[in-house]
Amino acid sequence: MSNTRESPRLYASSITTKPKVAPAPWDISAKADAILRTRDHVDFYVRKAVLSVASDVFEGMFSLPELPDNRKRKQPDNEEYLDGIPIVELQEDSSTITTLLQYCYPMPKPKHFDPRKLCNSLYAARKYMMEYAESELITRFESQVGATPYQFYLLASKFGWQREAKIAAEVSLLHEFKPEFMPPLLEEVSALVLSRLLKYRESCIDAALNEVGHERKTIWFPPDLLSVEYKFPWLKYASLRDWVFFKCQNMRTPIAIVVAQMPSRSDSTTVLVPYWWVLYMEEVKKDVQAYPRKFTKVYKPEYLEKYTAAGASNCAGTCCADRLPNDLLLFHESLISRVDQALKKVPFMSSETSTGKA
């Protein structure tokens, strides 16, 4: 984010429009000793002491010596004093200043924000060094980003916020990406911002697929035995017998599959697994490709029960019926863990020149 700060102004304004007065508790009835005048010509009557506690910027500004009484202008115009009260001109609009003041005064806080309003308020909180407001707004950002991650990503990128852009990009992995999902904000940022998001998403999908047997090829062996080769980098030879579907001897529809690396050797070992397991893995890969992060958040997807039943019916004995529900769930949890770890290792870089206005 840009280090340039636009400081509040205490000098005369060029605005000719008569300002409106903010609603209570910042109206003319307030026991105010300062007036905040916003970009859209709204006057907020505030207490310097309250703002000084909440903001290091205002504390420094209000600590400056005041003008003598004979230099204060008392006529109700747009100059630096109004009825003897100093006017502080701000670059923000009244909506943003209302939000900031709600975090300065002991009053109810907003429960939900429009993404643009939230980010405008967070930018202003950082600009005026309001630590409490910034902390609360960051919490709001993190709690709301899941609803519209692409909009939050574009806004965070526009302001040059690396951390928040990364959070939004990660959360976007819970959603399928479609060009029509991108909000009109796309016109307000450079093409590089979208390019970074797409590259990050592609890298995440590749990393996740690598953990769920992405390397695959199909070969036919006589007499009509299909061999589907999957390569799992994390699955060790010694662990093959941990799951019943890798060791069942009573399969009605076996299919050859390469699943693990031999210990201390470069080649792999082959075991027979049923066709339903191949269908299960294809569904897993489809999930990972469309919703990489969502895959790690859904503990027990609906299709798990379907393939548990398919596995039990495919076994001529009782071993799968007894062990399959637990074994398939444990295997699925292993996939979730591996995908989660892989996604966390994917780097994300975002940088955009901050404009200070959204």
Task: Please choose, from the candidates 329, 347, 349, the residue with its C-alpha nearest in 3D space to the C-alpha of residue 337.
Answer: 329
* Confidence band for 232, pLDDT divided at 50, 70 and 90: confident
Q: What pLDDT sits at residue 78?
A: 47
Segment 72-79 mean pLDDT = 50
Of 79-93, 156-170, 238-252, 258-272, give the lowest mean pLDDT range. 258-272
Q: Of the ranges 49-53, 106-110, 267-271, which is most confident? A: 49-53
Segment 231-244 mean pLDDT = 72
Q: What pLDDT sits at residue 272?
A: 73
Higher pLDDT, 124 or 242: 124
* 311 pLDDT above the threshold of 60: yes
- Within 10 angstroms of residue 274's Cβ, the number of other Cβ atoms is 23
Q: What single DSSP character describes residue 79? A: S
Domains of the chain (ranges; CATH) run 20-140 (3.30.710.10), 216-343 (no CATH)
Higher pLDDT, 55 or 219: 55
At 236 the three-state DSSP class reads strand
Q: What pLDDT sits at residue 52?
A: 95
Tens digits of per-residue pLDDT, 321-351?
888 889 899 889 989 999 999 999 999 875 5
Q: What pLDDT sits at residue 353?
A: 45
* 292 pLDDT above the threshold of 50: yes
Taking the whole predicted model, whether its pTM rises above 0.75 is answered as: yes
Q: What is the rounded distance in angstroms from the CA atom of residue 91 to the CA atom of residue 126? A: 14
Locus of tokens 């230099």: 71
Share of residues in the chain with pLDDT > 90 (%): 43
- When the pLDDT of each residue in the chain is averaged and rounded to a whole number, the result is 82
Q: What pLDDT sits at residue 317?
A: 84
Q: What pLDDT sits at residue 184?
A: 80
Q: What is the rounded distance in angstroms from the CA atom of residue 170 to the CA atom of residue 220? A: 40
Question: Is 8:90 a contact under the CB 8 Å cutoff?
Answer: yes
* 155 pLDDT above the threshold of 50: yes
Q: What pLDDT sits at residue 212?
A: 86
β strands within 56-183, DSSP E: 81-82, 85-89
Q: What pLDDT sits at residue 41?
A: 94
Share of residues in the chain with pLDDT > 70 (%): 77
